[in-house]
Structure 1
Amino acid sequence: MALSYKARRRWSLVILLIGLPLYIVAAVTVVNMLDRPPIWLEFLVYVVLGIVWALPFRAIFRGVGKADPDAEN
């Protein structure tokens, strides 16, 4: 069962307002557990973690910024 446009829009807000800050805290914690690696490795870890968080949510974020396809003109 696919999510409706309104449901995807609500879930995207929940993910961005609650999930993303929690993920940022987790990413910083992971880097701190590495005992301050070299700057290039720290940058690489942040880039990889910054991309990885969005992959499971691609279907939810797709088309959310466009007009509601089910709305009447």
Structure 2
Amino acid sequence: MALSYKTRRRLSLLVLVVGMPLYIVAAVTLVGLFDRPPFWLELVIYVALGVVWILPLKPIFIGVGQADPDAKTPEDDGNSR
């Protein structure tokens, strides 16, 4: 079942406002459990974790920045002149 545009917008906002801060805290905590790696390795870990979070959520974000495809336009009303 495909999600509607409105649902995807709401879910994407929820992910960015609630999920992203939680993911950042989890990533920093996870890296903090180990001895401090060299700077370059720590940078690679954070970059990888910064990319990995979006992979399962990509379908939610696709097309959210575009105009609502289901929105009515003035031509759809049948009141054209």
TM-score (norm 1): 0.97
CA separation in 1, counterparts of 2:9 and 2:59?
Answer: 11
1:7 matched to 2:2? The reply is no
How many corresponding residue pairs?
A: 73
- What's the Cα RMSD here? 0.6
Structure 2 residue ranges without an equivalent (≥5): 74-81
Whichever of the two has the greater Rg, that structure is 2
Poorly superposed stretches of 4+, deviation over 6 Å: none
SS at match of 1:56: coil
TM-score (norm 2): 0.88
1:39 matched to 2:66? The reply is no
Q: Which amino acid aligns with 2:36?
A: R
CA separation in 2, counterparts of 1:22 and 1:35?
Answer: 22
Q: Which has the higher helix share?
A: 1
Which stretch shows the higher mean deviation, 45-54 or 29-38?
29-38
Deviations 1:2-29 (A, max 9, x none): 1000000000000000000000001101
Structure 1 residue ranges without an equivalent (≥5): none
